[in-house]
Chain A
Amino acid sequence: MIALQHISKVYEVGGQPIYALRDLNENIGSGEYVAIVGPSGSGKSTLLNVIGCLLRPSEGAYFFNGEDVSQFDDQALSYVRQHQIGFIFQSFHLVPRLTALGNVALPMVFAGIPSSERQIRAKEALEAVGLSDRAHHRPNQLSVGQRQRVVIARAIIMQPLLLLADEPTGNLDTHSGQQIMELLESLNAKGLTMLVVTHDPKVARRANRVIVLADGQIVKRVKGEELTSGSAPFF
């Protein structure tokens, strides 16, 4: 479903080119559960942004679901993000003045889905993450674990093909982090392709496949269970 071919991302810093990603090749199949790990500055976030169609690569081709989205314009990229990709952020990024229901319904607003249908679908999504009794609470009235559930409900509301999670448990305690991962894995079990960027070896180990990045390149590909706490040097 995802095919990255010779992807590079270059930034100019003080006239010097800085490679955030360097000639990166990778294929991720439909329904996979992949973790991306690596030290800070290794290019994890850049890679996630490229895959999430938030960032165009400087070089190379990116095929998403069979289309070369590296050539898409803003409108087309927005469409892909809207309909095919769900985002989960470490710091939630919920709109503080909207209720849980309003936040979950937000992607549908920009997709032009009528209000009545939005209500029904948003309620269903909140139910799916176990938050139907918190629908009318605002983010600051929810616990961090509950907030991340709202974010997950919002990410799946458009029924995407791909779920991108950037440190999904980074702001959570161990217990709610555990619950969130279980929730995400249950979605993966239903066929949703999942990509998780993380520092946490315990999270990465749960994935089927782990990609280890360093200096903008993939330095290692391992199976999740092969990863032990002892392999910490990568993080």
Chain B
Amino acid sequence: MLIDLISLAWSALAGHRLRTSLSVVGVAVGIGAVVALTALGEGARQYVIQEFTSIGSNLLSVLPGKTETTGAMPGIGGVPNDLTLEDLLALRRQIHSAQYIVPVSMGTETVSHGERRRQVAVVGSSPEFLEARELRLAQGQFLPTGDVERGAPVVVLGHITARELFPGEQPLGQVVRVGEWRMRVIGVLAEIGTQLGIKMDEVVIVPVATGMKMFNRSSLFRILVKVRSPKDLDSACEQVIAILTQRHDEEDVTCITQKAVIATFSSILQTLTLVLVAIGAISLTVAGIGVMNVMLVTVSERTEEIGLLRALGATHGQILSVFLLEAVMLAGLGGLVGLLLGLGGVHLLTWIYPAVPAAAPAWAIGAALGLAMMLGGIFGVLPARRAAKLDPIMALQRR
């Protein structure tokens, strides 16, 4: 029975090629837009998550200032106590679930070698930084182990910094100037790319004490804690805050887990995706109204046929099904074409701009078809009801 109704509906659609194709295009554009935009939003989300996990998911950051109490960015509003190297050492003594506890100081400075100079980000840290941030060395060695409070005049160069300061030269053992400081190059990082917006290939890394003296800072930029397993993250955070609260006599540090950051970004980007979907939904609504319009025309054109079918014994329900099915098939066809259109668009986009992360999630494919058929169903109800309600006699009298 259903197959018969489908083939009846199909013969009607096939009988009006131009009209059917135009409606299909209308729906296809809407569905295509939803698929492509969803792919774009979802791609961006995946990209960010990947970016964050690339620097290690067991990481938590401790920064001076209490975001929750000031309600602003750390460091703005309120004068928090410094996050000092003594704090770092206290944490290292007391938190046993941590694999590494790494200090970070940051600043920008001019680094030069002979006539070549370059403005770079200077990161002050400890030897564990290498592993905590999952960096690799191209040559030489990383920061020397030993007392973090002693700042040796040594520097590790990022891949690009090394190449630009020492084109065709061996940088190891050479002396560079970082601001006013003369420092010996002991290592070069392997090419790594961008981590969290910091171009790791363009930095220079110095011992943390050197960095703090260089920038005349008494506080660390942050302390990174790498725990052994993700389930230790929350308890490590609590411990850090407890220890530092005791040391500072007030709770003035913020502890951010990678998980929380990812969750935040993820939810922001999910919202973005939803907004994109909403834009697509608008075009779908327009397409739906198009379907409704075509179906209304179809019904009024086929009044005679409807009357005939009623005379031949088709019930209200059967007439309703025929026209509803026709609308659903029309929209479903549009959904199929739109899906191909959307996937093709995504493909084209990633081909032209390989950097743009875009991939249609699997659920979007099913959802696109489902959505299209639902669209047909919703916008087909009115015309189908109109068809079913037609008085068979009036319908037959039209000649």
Interface of A toward B, CB cutoff 8 Å: 49, 52, 54-55, 74-75, 78-79, 81-83, 87, 89, 91, 93, 95-98, 106-107, 109-112, 115, 154, 158
- CB-CB under 8 A from A83, the residues of chain B are 313
Closest to A80 in B: B313
Query: Across the two chains, which residue of chain A brings its CB closest to B307?
Result: A93
For A96, the chain B residues whose CB sits under 8 A away are 15
Q: Which of these binds chain A: B194-202, B217-225, B314-322, B360-368?
A: B314-322
A95 touches B311 (CB 8 A): no
CB-contact partner of A89 in B5, B317, B396, under 8 A: B396
B230-244 with Cβ < 8 A to chain A: none
Other CB < 8 Å A-B pairs besides A83-B313, A109-B4, 5 of them? A49-B393, A52-B311, A78-B315, A109-B1, A109-B8
List, sorted by A's number, 6 A–B pairs whose CB atoms are closer than 8 Å. Answer: A49-B393, A54-B311, A54-B392, A95-B305, A111-B313, A112-B1
Contact A81 B311 (CB under 8 A): yes
Q: Which 10 A-B pairs have the closest CB atoms?
A: A82-B313, A78-B315, A107-B312, A110-B314, A97-B15, A93-B308, A81-B313, A109-B4, A91-B399, A87-B311
A110 touches B311 (CB 8 A): no
Contact count A vs B, C-beta below 8 Å: 65
Q: Which of A54, A87, A98, A110 has the most CB of B within 10 A?
A: A110
Q: Which residues of B contact A (CB under 8 A)?
A: 1, 3-5, 8, 11-12, 14-15, 304-305, 307-318, 392-393, 396, 399
Chain A residues in 8 Å Cβ range of B393:
49, 54-55
Closest Cβ–Cβ distance, residue B9 to chain A (whole Å): 11
A172 to B36, CA, bound (A): 59
Q: Please, how many angstroms separate the alpha-carbon atoms of A83 and B393 in the complex?
A: 19
Contact between A78 and B304 (Cβ–Cβ < 8 Å)? no
Q: Considering the complex, give the chain A residue whose CB is closest to the CB of B1.
A: A112
Residues of A within 8 A of B304 (CB): 93
B318 neighbours in A (Cβ, 8 Å): 110
Asked whether, in the complex, the Cβ of A75 is within 8 Å of the Cβ of B311, the reply is no
Cα distance A106–B309 in the bound complex, in angstroms: 8
Residue on B nearest A83 in the bound complex, by CB: B313
B contact residues around A82 at 8 Å (CB): 312-314
Contacts of A109 in B (CB 8 A): 1, 4-5, 8
Residue numbers in A under 8 Å from B12 (CB-CB): 97
A110 to B304, CA, bound (A): 17
Contacts of A91 in B (CB 8 A): 399
What is the minimal beta-carbon distance from B16 to any residue of chain A, in angstroms?
Answer: 9
A95 in contact with B314 given A49-B393, A109-B8, A115-B4 (CB within 8 Å): no
Measured CA separation A139–B155 after assembly (Å) = 91
Contact residues in B for A106 (Cβ distance below 8 Å):
309, 312
Give every chain A residue within 8 A of B399 (Cβ-Cβ). Answer: 91
**Closest Cβ–Cβ distance, residue A40 to chain B (whole Å):** 13
Residues of chain B within 8 A (CB-CB) of A111 are 313
Alpha-carbon separation in the docked complex, A95 to B311 (Å):
13
Task: Please determine whether B11 and A98 come into contact, CB atoms closer than 8 angstroms.
Answer: yes
Q: How far is the CB of A218 from chain B (nearest CB, A)?
A: 21
Q: Are the C-beta atoms of A93 and B310 separated by less than 8 Å?
A: no
Question: Within the complex, what minimum Cβ distance (angstroms) separates B303 from chain A?
Answer: 11
Question: Cβ of B396 and Cβ of A78 under 8 Å apart?
Answer: no
Beta-carbon contact of A110 and B11 below 8 Å: no
Query: In the complex, what distance in Å separates the CA atom of A154 from the CA atom of B311?
Result: 12
Task: From known contacts A54-B392, A93-B396, A112-B1, infer whether A74 and B308 are also in contact, taking CB-CB under 8 Å.
Answer: no
Report chain A residues within 8 Å CB of B4. Answer: 109, 115
CB-defined contacts of B3 to chain A, threshold 8 Å: 115
Choose one: B14, B307, B313, B396; the contact of A110 (CB below 8 Å): B313
- Inter-chain contacts of B310 with A (CB < 8 A): 54, 78, 81
Most chain A C-beta atoms within 10 Å of own C-beta, residue among B11, B312, B315? B312
Residues of A within 8 A of B15 (CB): 96-97
> B residues within 8 A CB of A98?
11
**Residues of chain B within 8 A of A75, CB atoms compared:** 315-317
Q: Which chain A residues border B14 with CB–CB below 8 Å? A: 97
How far does the Cβ of A180 sit from chain B's closest Cβ, in whole Å? 19
- Residue of A49, A87, A91, A95 with most partner-chain B CB within 10 A: A95
Q: How far is the CB of A70 from chain B (nearest CB, A)?
A: 16
Question: Which of A55, A81, A83, A111 is most buried by chain B, counting CB atoms within 10 A of its CB?
Answer: A81
- CA A91 to CA B397, docked complex, whole Å: 9
Q: Which residues of B contact A95 (CB under 8 A)?
A: 305, 308
Closest to A52 in B: B311
On whether the beta carbons of B312 and A110 are closer than 8 Å, the reply is yes
Residues in A neighbouring B313, C-beta threshold 8 A = 78-79, 81-83, 107, 110-111, 158
Given known pairs A97-B11, A98-B11, A106-B309, the reply for A78 and B314 (CB within 8 Å) is: yes
User: From residue B110, how far is it (CB to closest CB) to chain A in Å?
Assistant: 81
Min distance, Cβ B20 to any Cβ of chain A, angstroms: 13
The smallest C-beta distance from B120 to any residue of chain A, in angstroms, reads 75
Chain A positions within 8 Å of B392 at CB level? 54
Chain A residues near B316 (CB, 8 Å)? 74-75, 78
Contact partners of A107 in chain B: CB under 8 A? 312-313
How far in angstroms is the closest Cβ of chain B from A146?
18
Q: Bound state CA distance, A226 and B310, in angstroms? A: 37
